[in-house]
Amino acid sequence: MGITAHQVLPVYHLTRIDSCTLLVWGIAKGVIAGQAWAMNPDTTHHHEEPAPFETTDPVHAARMWDEMYSASGRRWSGNANPQLVAEISGKPGGNALDLGCGEGGDALWLASQGWNVCAVDVSAVALARAAEHQASAGQDLHGQISWELRDLNDWKPSAEFDLVSAQFLHSTALPWQQALATAAGAVRTGGMLLIVGHHPDHLPPWGAHRVAHALFTAADVVAELELDGHRWRLDVSEDRRRPIAGPDGQEAVVADVVLSALRLQA
Ligand SMILES: C[S@@+](CC[C@H](N)C(=O)[O-])C[C@H]1O[C@@H](n2cnc3c(N)ncnc32)[C@H](O)[C@@H]1O
């Protein structure tokens, strides 16, 4: 599907209250549809740019995300997501898997905390930016990060990890059940699964988007992955509210779904 002039609407780079703020895409298609994608937006500029190609077909996941990232310069702030920092700070490092790593803010932060990180994304554009960010940051990370181009629609890691993190892994072209099952399956016994998402009932009021099938509640995830069963110790399962500011200075409170679980057995 091509992008036409009538699909061009402003993309709101929201004023960032913390490093994890909603980016709202408005897409004009006769009726308003759109996507709520997360996190770390680059707040340095406001401009108009084409809406991304949107699909529910997994075959086009890479194209959709490459177009989203290519539509402008760096998309996110480069900072780590706050729930990741809250949950992982002070923990000893190990090997970590960052699923849907985007432009790499989380992976770089994890590496700075002593983790070896396998950072996976379907978008080559995002991964190139992540590698650039790593190079420009000038941190001595000793090869601690490997950036891997993979599509979670058809890829599963062969290794197991001490930490598997999925931060705002929402996509119309990737069933969250499948993506999070892959995440859970990659946690070694004694390792940690950390899932963070946008709460479907606490999105910003100025967003013209409700992509229900890409969003989940904590209860949805617990039930889907059986995190309350004998294989896991469920440590965190909650909604965390945080203030954000809108494109015109509006104030709102959104919520992150946060789940953390320790794998007790295979
Ligand atoms: C909303 S962004 C979150 C990025 C990053 N985790 C963050 O918090 O800044 C979702 C990310 O998931 C990636 N993604 C979407 N579908 C994917 C798939 N099928 N396989 C791997 N990555 C995917 C996108 O390219 C995008 O970078």
Q: For the domain that residue 146 is a member of, what is the CATH number? A: 3.40.50.150
In short, whether 244's Cβ falls inside 6 Å of ligand 1 is: no
Q: Which residue has the higher pLDDT, 94 or 43?
A: 94
35 C-alpha to ligand 1 centroid (Å): 13
Lowest mean pLDDT among 59-73, 170-184, 243-257: 243-257
Of all protein residues, the one whose alpha carbon is nearest to atom 24 of ligand 1 is 100
The pLDDT of residue 207 is 63
Averaged over 253-265, what is the pLDDT?
96
Tell whether 16 is covered by a domain: no
Tell whether 110 is covered by a domain: yes
Q: Which residue has the higher pLDDT, 72 or 261?
A: 261
Averaged over 220-245, what is the pLDDT?
96
Res 82 pLDDT > 80: yes
In short, whether 182's Cβ falls inside 6 Å of ligand 1 is: no
Res 73 pLDDT > 50: yes
Of all protein residues, the one whose alpha carbon is nearest to atom 12 of ligand 1 is 100
In short, whether 76's Cβ falls inside 6 Å of ligand 1 is: yes
Q: Per-residue confidence at 209, pLDDT binned at 50, 70, 90?
A: low
Res 40 pLDDT > 60: no
The pLDDT of residue 237 is 98
| Closest ligand 1 atom, residue 126 Cα | 27
Q: Domain range for residue 98?
A: 39-263
Res 263 pLDDT > 60: yes
103 C-alpha to ligand 1 centroid (Å): 9
Tell whether 104 is covered by a domain: yes
In short, whether 198's Cβ falls inside 6 Å of ligand 1 is: no
Tell whether 22 is covered by a domain: no
Tell whether 237 is covered by a domain: yes
The share of the chain scoring above pLDDT 90, in percent, equals 62
Res 17 pLDDT > 70: no
Averaged over 207-226, what is the pLDDT?
87
What is the tally of structural domains in the chain?
1
Nearest to 120 by CA among 145, 94, 144: 145
In short, whether 53's Cβ falls inside 6 Å of ligand 1 is: no
| Closest ligand 1 atom, residue 68 Cα | 25
State which of 3-17, 38-52, 58-72, 188-202 shows the largest mean pLDDT. 188-202
Tell whether 34 is covered by a domain: no
Res 191 pLDDT > 80: yes
Tell whether 242 is covered by a domain: yes
Of all protein residues, the one whose alpha carbon is nearest to atom 10 of ligand 1 is 169
Tell whether 111 is covered by a domain: yes
The pLDDT of residue 210 is 59
pTM over 0.85: no
